[in-house]
Amino acid sequence: MKNDVFDSVVVGDGDTRIAGVSLKELAKECPTPLYIYDEDRLVKTMHAYTDHFTSPKFEGRVVYATKAFNCKAMLRLCQKNGLYMDSVSLGEIYTAHKAGIDMSGLYFHGNNKTVIEMRRAFEYGVGTLIVDSLEESEKLARIASEYPDCSMRILIRVNPIIEAATHKHIQTATPDSKFGIAIDRKDNVLETIRTIQSAPNLHFAGLHAHIGSQIFGSDPFTKEVDDLTDYMVMLRDEHGIHCEELDLGGGFGVWYNDADTPAPVEDVCRTIVSACEKAFAAKNLTPSVVTIEPGRSIVAEAGYLLYEITLIKKALKDTFYFVDGGMSDLIRPALYEAVYSADLVGKPADAPKQLVTIGGKCCESGDIVIRDIELPVAKEGDLLLVYSAGAYGYSMANNYNKNPLPGVVFVKDGTWRYVVRPESLDDMIARECD
């Protein structure tokens, strides 16, 4: 455990507590695997963004990327604490609608929005849509004509072709990325803008970009600001097009293990604000809004995954601690080699340790939760706590091998509550037909 990151985790008296909640007692009341979120930590991180992403020169807008972890309770917490939100599917839009979110503050992303999704965006009053291609802008303009009494702000996603130093599966600004319009395809970008402007109820508001995820250094973001503001100058000076909003996306890194060196949220905000202020002044630009879209960095370190060790197996080389979940509830290690850290619940730091591999229960060789981690000697029935599990864990959970989806709880001030109940076996097969 990294104490300065997980300061609400307390180990002692043979137990581990998060925000005052005993994990051993929690496991008696809630089936494992179980996702646990520290509600105060979520709020603290939200305010680290909203308090520091500010400038006297423009409105600093913090938009939570809900795909990182999306449920009604989480969205309501975001709205209560001053965050905008984005969605990438009809399901996410519908969840926000049912949660009572102010839809005029919602951003709708995605590289392949369907006709049904676009229509629902108009019907639910989504405020801003990010167009990903010329082809999509043409489809959107046709659909917009069906809703003459509804208006929508439009950002156009450009690909600045900045290759951030992260795993290839979470890079989003490489030359062959499926996202956005390459920044050097100026004619294509211009035609997309003109298509939007041709629809009376669509308002072109500015540019959007996103360069990847789990980025630690500041240089990629500074370059993103420089490249996009140069583009804004070109649009203004050569074509008379003004951008009122610059959306820089997200991708801010978090701690998963000791190889990770994320900057504090406050420093990330200051870096981006400073880069924008300098670029705007130097290039005589006056956007009224600058937007960032943190997702992972709001929820990852606030979230934990609790397992029970159900079998210990001595193989030829490895010792396996098998848990009662795996790639059905935490697919990121199998999907793109994500590396997590973990501890046994209630074990002191000086307990004898051994090198083990945490294996899942799914019938796949790749179903490894953590490979080669030093942990105390365990026995069946011990609990394993995985750190920084709050982003994309529950969001990517699935029913592979007919494993039910896990539950999710929020913990705060010694109490807990379900925000997503665990899926029962009957829930899992409820949609199946005889």
- Residues with a catalytic annotation lie at 363
d(CA 321, CA 416): 28
- Partners of 20 in beta bridges: none
Three-class DSSP category at 413 = coil
**φ and ψ of 205, to 5 deg:** -110, -25
Cβ of 425: how many Cβ atoms within 10 Å? Answer: 9
Whether 144 and 201 have beta carbons less than 8 Å apart is answered as yes
Closest CA to 158 of 219, 224, 217: 224
- Distance in angstroms (rounded) separating the CA atoms of residues 160 and 20: 45
d(CA 32, CA 26): 10
In angstroms, the Cα distances linking 121 to 94, 148, 177, 259, 374 are: 9, 14, 25, 41, 49
CB of 232 closer than 8 Å to CB of 249? no
HEC profile for 299-340?
Answer: HCCCEEEEEEEEEEEECCCCEEEEECCCCCCCCHHHHHCCCC
- For 221, residues 6+ apart whose C-beta sits below 8 A from its C-beta are 211, 215, 248, 268, 271, 272, 275
3-class DSSP state of 403:
coil
- Phi/psi of residue 347, nearest 5 degrees: -85, 130
- C-alpha 324/C-alpha 212 separation (Å) is 32
Rounded Cα distance between 39 and 131, Å, is 33
Secondary structure of 231-266 in the HEC alphabet?
A: HHHHHHHHHCCCCCEEECCCCECCCCCCCCCCCCHH
Closest CA to 359 of 399, 403, 301, 315: 315
Work out the angle at residue 350's Cα, subtended by the Cα atoms of residues 346 and 353, and round it to the nearest 5 degrees: 85
Which residues are CB-neighbours of 28 under 8 A, at least 6 positions away? none
Beta bridge partners of 35: 305, 408
